[in-house]
Amino acid sequence: MAGRPAGDRVAAGERGATTIADRVVAKIAAQAAREALPTGVPEGGAPPHATVTVQRGIAYVRVGVELDYPSDIGEQCGAVRARVAQRVRALAGMDVPEVVVRVDRLHSVQARLTALGRVR
């Protein structure tokens, strides 16, 4: 740097800041949601998607998922919440006070088997 003797350290307040775009955090959240689901994406379903708003280092996350049915919906949503919060904290360094999980669609395993002619 011009004007500084070699070997001088730059004070933390003068180094600048790293900002991470909301869409990047949303991609992290969507991938984490996919990892949290036992089957990933249900057959014929869409992958999880997320929207994120970041304010002062805090990420507010909304995730939409499609799930197989019958299954324990509450347990799966809880797993998604925990995984998304953990991954966003680890990869983006942001606090995540809550993760809103919206179930967009349920995919009936029974209906899929009926369509394939495999019902007993």
93: left (phi over 0), alpha (psi -120 to 50) or beta: left
Count Cβ atoms below 10 Å from residue 105 Cβ, excluding itself.
13
Is 58:94 a contact under the CB 8 Å cutoff? yes
- Rounded distance between C-alpha atoms, residue 52 and residue 55, angstroms: 10
pTM of the complete model: 0.80
Average pLDDT in the chain: 88
What band does 40 get if pLDDT is binned at 50, 70 and 90? confident
Q: Is the pLDDT of residue 120 over 70?
A: no
